[in-house]
Structure formats: structure tokens, C-alpha cells
Chain A
Amino acid sequence: MIKDDIRSYFPILNQEINGNPLVYLDSAATSQKPIQVIEALKKYYEFDNSNVHRGVHTLGNRATDDYEGAREKVRKFINAKSTEEIIFTRGTTAGLNMVASSYGRANVSEGDEIVITYMEHHSNLIPWQQLAKATNATLKYIDMEADGTLSMAAIKAAITDRTKIVSVTYASNVLGTINAIKDIAKIAHQHGAVMVVDGAQGVPHMTTDVQDLDCDFLAFSGHKMCGPTGIGVLYGKKEHLLNMEPVEFGGEMINFVGLQDSTWADLPAKFEAGTPVIAGAIGLGAAIDFLTDIGMDNILAHEHKLSQYTFENLSSIEGLTIYGPQDPLARTGLATFNIDDVHPHDLATALDSRGIAVRAGHHCAQPLMKWLSCVATARASFYVYNNEEDIDKLAEGVRFAKEYFANV
């Protein structure tokens, strides 16, 4: 259960937009930040700001302790074996690019296969497209069922002994589909491939245990889970990270530097060149504390409840289609939909006039839009602070827009 006072921790929700109380339904794009995270950033900049892993002075020690403390919080949150496996990045995109350009370039060659799905966000698609082009490998897509899920048969058919990398989203940012990563990883490993997971839409919403999933890499972003923008995490199994070349070179990632040659620092510093996003990491640590206090299982249960309520409420609107699995319990908390005769942009503008924030567009998933045979859709996405009243307002807003555009 999520307590009723949850909204009081999110100062941004306490405002009016276009004369109406804000109804924020765009958390899949970015989540709002609780006061605990905002305070952690403020405390760092007001009292502890200093560079990390350098000076011997007190502030430097405090900043380093807090930064490394955040790494330990991340480790525990996703149940990694060691903090050596936790690399701070600037977000999911950066993490996936690191895997493609470091692990990918070293392990994929001509004739090999990289396997992804039609439901990938561009961030888990273009790095592999580029890798396939550069290495003359083949980029393959796992066939998708009509309801936007992956069948075991389709997964088994796509992954072969030539497959070197399988990269699948934990949860779809458009369909809400939660993918069976553990099962896919098993099949990937049977064929000698590594399992990469785009965790951007999964890690914020459910318990994540990288050892149980047995994935080789997992990338996610802080800002979709109550943390600041500009900070993300790449988890990688130590055996892979040890053998990988750094992607960026410079300060902090070195051991010895000579005139013609240098050696690299140990994990995880090898992959963190330059001054890291110290405040961001500390903010992410505070976000993890916040989410852990609520409980990740409670968060998923809350989203399932809201999804169920959304299906009940929106389905009664004539001409409205919700995409993706029709079982609310098979999804994360979002609903991507269209209504007949109203373009999603127009719908989003009409909803905004009532203070309701939704996303409209192709959601950085153009191949998926093509698969759905639409140019664009509207998406309402939920998080810990949303409640049934928000969904009532959404349904009222959609009815209003339908009426408005029919008569204008």
C-alpha cells in the first residue's frame, strides 16, 4: 500500500496549470522528484561540494564517501555482487552505447547476429544498428505477438549460435509490456550470447535482481525513478567489465600514465573518465532510499491497480484504443492510446488546457509505431504519486476533447 500522504513529498504537484491543479501523467518521460532528493542535492552543494577521489581535505572525503555510498545503494537496490559492477553514467542511452561500442566492437564480427525487438526505444536500437553496420553483423528482430508481447517460440526462433548479443527492454515505454528477461537470458546463454537489458522503464517500477535475472548488462536512468537528470547506471558482470576497453579516456580512469602509453584504473573507475556527476549520484542514492522505503513490490502493485482502473475508465470511451497487453497485470503503469478523429497532439493540447500532462508523439519508437500502424499516440504514465482521481480527470479530459473536436 502506498500512503495517502505520498503526494506531499512532491512539491511540484502543488501547483495549477492553466487554472487547474496539475495532473502529471508523464512519468515514463521523467518522474517528479521528492523533497528528500531535492534536499540531498541542496545539502551536497551547500555543505559537501568537492571533487571526489582526489584531495586529502575533509570536503573531498565527504564528497567521496557520499558518492561511493550512492554506488553501494545502487548495488544493493539491484542486488549486484559487487560495487565494481556499478558504473555511473549519464543515463540509459550512455550505458547502452558503452556496451555496444566497447563489448560490441570487441566481440561481434562479420556474419554474427545481434538480436533485439520491435518494441525497443531508439536508445536500444540505434547503437546496435551502428554496431551491425560497422562489423557487418546482422541486426535481427524477435517477432512480436498481436498484443505486443514476445512468445518463447519467437524468442527461440530468433536466437541462434551466431547470436553474440541479445538486447531487450525490461519494460516497453509504449506498450507497457514487461518482458521475461530471465527466460530470454537463459536462451541467450545457451547459444553463447550475452544478455543486455534496457532497464529505463523497468527498474523504476519493480524489484530488480540482476543475479536472479542473470543478465550480463543492465542500463537505467536516475531521472525516471525520482532521481535527478544526468545520472544513470550501467551494471555489467565483472567478468565482462574486466575484459572491456574503456570508452572514454582522461582523468580518474588511469593507473600509470607515460608519454606513449598508459594503464587503466581498476573497476569501476576504468569506465568513469573525468569528474563524475557527483551530485546526481548522491541524488540517485536519496531516490533509492525513498523508493526502498515505499517498497518496490508496493510500487508495482500500485501501478497495477492504477492500470486496471485506467482500463476500466478509458475503455468505456467510444472509439478509444489502448495498445499493448490487455491484461493490466502484465504491464507497468502506463496506457498508450488513441481516439478516433482526434490526433494525439490535439488531444495533448486539449488535456494541457485542463492541467493534465500526457505525452503525444512517437515516443522515440518509430519502428514500433510502424508496427502499430500509427504515426503517433498519446500516453499517460503513472508513478507512486498518481491516484485514481488523476485517472478520473484523464477520462473526463479525453471525453471533453472528443466532444470539443467533434464540434469546433
Chain B
Amino acid sequence: MSNLDQLYRSVIMDHYKKPRNKGQLEGSNVAIDMNNPTCGDRIHLTLQVDDNIVTDAKFEGEGCSISMSSASMMTQLIKGKTTEEALAFAQTFSEMMLGQEHDEDMDLGDIEALSGVAQFPARIKCATLAWKAMEKGINKEG
């Protein structure tokens, strides 16, 4: 597989072209805006957190296939999880992006497809944008 194919797995492009959980939760209790000032990508993430559980998640934004697919996959993954679990996913994802040792037993689902991003240092910030927003939102809520 070429480097380019490592980066652009079909599952990533699928999430980019058909984003899951796109939109905005009305009346949600967590709403976060975040942007990447170096490239202009931006995300508006809304979460509904009840009794420490992320019961719903939606995102809106503009950006490249990596940032938008990452947001789509993340919202899919964290729905129904506790905030601690969501933050643990974020931690593992960040380690995966930086090419560091991470908990390989953790089931990240589709997100494993983003592992190729670690080979493209300039694109790591694209992949982590939604996750940084989620971490900020949950920490503010908590």
C-alpha cells in the first residue's frame, strides 16, 4: 500500500463523504467551538451529557477529509460512553497520532483507520481537532 493509501483508507473517505452525526443538538448541555488557526479548519461540537454519560453527539464544521472524518467517527464512538471512557479514547487516540505506545486492546472501531496519519506530521492537527474539542467540552462540563 502506498503512503497515500495508508492515509486515505476508504472508511475515512466514507465518513468524509457521508458524515455521521452531522448537525447541531438543540438545547444540549455541552457546546464547543474550536478551530485550527494554521489551516482554517473549524468544528462546532455539541454533546448531551446526562449522569456522566454522553447520550448524544453532533458536529458541524469545515475542513479536510481527515478532520471531518475524524469528527464523524469520534461522535459515533463516544455516544453511550461515560465521560471517563470518552476521555480515555481521546488519550489513546492522541498517543496513536503521535506514534507513541498506546493501549492496543482498546477498541476504537473505524478510528483505527486514522493510524496512517501518524506518518504525516503536518496532518496530525487535522485528525485531533474534534478530539480536542470533545476533551475541552467534557472537562468544562465536569
Distance, CA A202 to CA B16, complexed state (A) = 39
Instruction: Given A375-B62, A408-B13, verify A349-B123 contact (CB < 8 Å).
Output: yes
Distance, CA A362 to CA B37, complexed state (A) = 9
Provide the residues of chain A in CB contact with B39, threshold 8 Å.
345, 360-362, 376
| CB <8 Å contact, B2 and A345 | no
Residue B4 lies at the interface, judged by CB distance under 8 Å to chain A: yes
Contact bitstring B23-39, A, C-beta under 8 A = 1, else 0? 00000000000000011
Total A-B pairs, Cβ < 8 A: 50
Provide the residues of chain A in CB contact with B10, threshold 8 Å.
408
Residue A249 lies at the interface, judged by CB distance under 8 Å to chain B: no
Contact bitstring B57-69, A, C-beta under 8 A = 1, else 0? 0000011111000
Residue A116 lies at the interface, judged by CB distance under 8 Å to chain B: no
Residue A147 lies at the interface, judged by CB distance under 8 Å to chain B: no
Provide the residues of chain B in CB contact with A376, threshold 8 Å.
39-41
Distance, CA A353 to CA B62, complexed state (A) = 24
Residue A405 lies at the interface, judged by CB distance under 8 Å to chain B: yes
Residue B47 lies at the interface, judged by CB distance under 8 Å to chain A: no
Contact bitstring A344-359, B, C-beta under 8 A = 1, else 0? 1110011001000000
Residue A18 lies at the interface, judged by CB distance under 8 Å to chain B: yes
> Which among B3, B40, B42, B62 has the greatest number of chain A C-beta atoms within 10 A?
B40
Distance, CA A404 to CA B8, complexed state (A) = 10
Distance to closest chain A CB from B8 (angstroms) = 5
| CB <8 Å contact, B40 and A353 | no
Residue B7 lies at the interface, judged by CB distance under 8 Å to chain A: yes
Distance to closest chain A CB from B39 (angstroms) = 4
Provide the residues of chain B in CB contact with A404, threshold 8 Å.
4, 8
Residue B90 lies at the interface, judged by CB distance under 8 Å to chain A: no
| CB <8 Å contact, B4 and A343 | no
Residues of chain B touching chain A, judged by Cβ–Cβ distance below 8 Å, are: 2-5, 7-8, 10, 13, 38-42, 62-66, 120, 122-123, 126
Q: What would 11 A/B residue contacts be, using CB atoms closer than 8 Å?
A: A344-B64, A345-B64, A346-B8, A349-B7, A349-B123, A353-B2, A362-B39, A369-B40, A376-B41, A408-B5, A408-B10
